[in-house]
Structure 1
Amino acid sequence: MAEARTTGPRARYREQTRAEIKDAALRQLAEGGTAALALVKIAKELGMSGPALYRYFASRDDLLGALIDDAYADAAAAVAAAPDPGTGPRARLHALATAYRDWAVGEPHRYQLVQGTPTPGYTAPPETLASARAVLAPFLPVFATGTPAPATAPVVAQIRAWLARDEAVAAWVHAGAPAGPEAAATALTGTVLAWSTLHGTIGLEISGHYTGMGHTGETLLTAQTELLADSFALA
């Protein structure tokens, strides 16, 4: 009986309305960023009253949280769908990085939701962490068999200590790249460095900082990814 209620006409109408509200919010974000996001404007566009809209999203932050979770889910799907060249972890790393950049460049307003704090004072709900980890999970096995360069040793040491004290993170890494403690530290170190490389390079591109310069975001990310692969001696 419970399943019938959750999949009945009323539940379907509620999900359809929530989807329409999110679509309207995304249009506002695309046009003017998070500063343009206004529930009153969304309600007016959809022919709803303000109080009616609040039955679907309790607040602006509640709506932002749903949009961020959706963005992470789509980004994770894009990365997971990256083709596996089958020629080793270096080629796989390039494929994952390219897939993430393609998603971000194609959805810049949604990328900007997940790459930082969308509005001053906003705090993402705890479940957002799992969504963010889903984006990074495919990178873990890429680095698990790598050999970190000496320059990465301080980061590896900090990551190793983090894994030792945080059982949840250790379990997540082990699920993505089952291996011993040293391989786990290597896998997470590489993934964290990949994350910072991706956001640094792609974030500058989407913010327009490469405009007028002599390179493209694509070529720069390829070079950065190759350097990262070198630093872990990926085959």
Structure 2
Amino acid sequence: MQHVRRERFREETKVEAKRIALEQPAEQGLAGISVNAIAKRMGVTGPAVYRYFKGREDLLDDLVRDAWHDLANTVEESVAAASGGERFRAFADAFRAWGVTQPHRYLLLFGTPLPGYRAPPDTIMAAHRTMSALLGVLPHEGEATARVVHSGRPARGPGGLARRGGSAPPAVLLTGLRAFSRLHGVLSLEVTGQFGPMGIDPAPLYRAEVESLILGDSGVRGSTRLSGPG
């Protein structure tokens, strides 16, 4: 029983430390995440926090893992709840909502890389889940399956899309990457507050980009609509 209590306390302490870590960027940016500053906020010494994280990089690893899995869960659940032509809209809406409501986590994944930091390899598969969810709402033929470019391992998207040994047609992969780039382009400008000084409401701009992609304006010559059959 005592062991269980210790483990529960350990997990609660880690959760609290990560919560505080995600509040720090509002004041100093992502580069300002500091284990010692977290310890001060928690009312403990720096060495006490180092009992749960080997160092700042270990803390960042946990934050990145959590963010990727949370984003993947969010878009997968949204896509699974939609049908037909609404599945791409569901992905796009969930992607934007996640980024707008959690801007620091979004920037942790898609913002300027932190100097000297390299995300651990195990986060790659979590990142692939998000891309696979997107590829899963693109048009694909027969037994073609979605796998992120150069991953070397099948991405696990909704609906059993990923199968070992399968790969999506190059046109679908290219369409997916371009679609993601366009969604990310608008969303990143919104998350970083770039539209404010321009007097632009980002919501209808993002929606227009989504509808443009659905109509087939994906930048891939001869591509079909991103939403697939209605």
- Tell me the number of residue pairs that the alignment of Structure 1 and Structure 2 aligns: 213
Matched, 1:196 2:196: no
Q: Could you tell me how far apart the structure 2 residues matched to 1:167 and 1:181 are? A: 12
Residue identity over aligned pairs, in percent, reads: 38
Aligned to 1:155: none
TM-score between both structures, scaled by the size of structure 1: 0.78
TM-score between both structures, scaled by the size of structure 2: 0.79
1:176 is displaced (CA, Å) by: 2.8
Matched, 1:172 2:168: no
CA contact (8 A) 1:68 1:114 kept: yes
Which one of 2, 9, 23 corresponds to residue 13 of structure 1?
A: 9
Aligned to 2:191: 206
1:177 is displaced (CA, Å) by: 4.8
Which one of 122, 138, 144 corresponds to residue 127 of structure 1?
A: 122
Which one of 209, 212, 215 corresponds to residue 224 of structure 1?
A: 209
Q: Could you tell me how far apart the structure 1 residues matched to 2:131 and 2:11 are? A: 28
Distance 1:179 1:223, change over 3 A: farther
CA contact (8 A) 1:143 1:186 kept: no
The 5 A counterparts of 1:51-200 are 51-82=47-78, 84-86=81-83, 88-89=84-85, 91-145=86-140, 166=150, 168-169=152-153, 171-172=154-155, 176-177=161-162, 183-200=168-185
Which one of 205, 214, 233 corresponds to residue 224 of structure 2?
A: 233
CA contact (8 A) 1:173 1:188 kept: no
Aligned to 1:151: none
CA contact (8 A) 2:91 2:134 kept: yes
Task: Give structure 1 stretches of 5+ with no counterpart.
Answer: 147-159
Q: Could you tell me how far apart the structure 2 residues matched to 1:26 and 1:203 are? A: 18
1:173 is displaced (CA, Å) by: 7.2
Q: Could you tell me how far apart the structure 2 residues matched to 1:177 and 1:81 are? A: 16
1:107 is displaced (CA, Å) by: 0.6
Structure scoring higher RCO (CA < 8 A, sep ≥ 6) equals 1
CA contact (8 A) 2:129 2:155 kept: no
SS in 1 for 2:155: helix
Aligned to 1:33: 29
Task: Give structure 2 stretches of 5+ with no counterpart.
Answer: 142-146
1:179 is displaced (CA, Å) by: 11
1:31 is displaced (CA, Å) by: 3.2
Aligned to 1:152: none
Q: Could you tell me how far apart the structure 2 residues matched to 1:35 and 1:65 are? A: 14
1:79 is displaced (CA, Å) by: 0.9
- Cα offsets for 1:169-203 (capped at 9, x unmatched): 4x327963559978443432232222212221100
Deviates more, 1:67-76 or 1:25-34: 25-34
Aligned to 1:153: none
Q: Could you tell me how far apart the structure 1 residues matched to 2:56 and 2:210 are? A: 37
Q: Which amino acid aligns with 2:208?
A: A
Q: Which has the higher helix share?
A: 1
Q: Could you tell me how far apart the structure 2 residues matched to 1:24 and 1:217 are? A: 29
Q: Which amino acid aligns with 2:103?
A: P
1:228 is displaced (CA, Å) by: 2.4
1:47 is displaced (CA, Å) by: 2.0
Deviates more, 1:26-35 or 1:71-80: 26-35
Q: Which amino acid aligns with 1:53?
A: V
Distance 1:187 1:73, change over 3 A: same
CA contact (8 A) 1:57 1:63 kept: yes
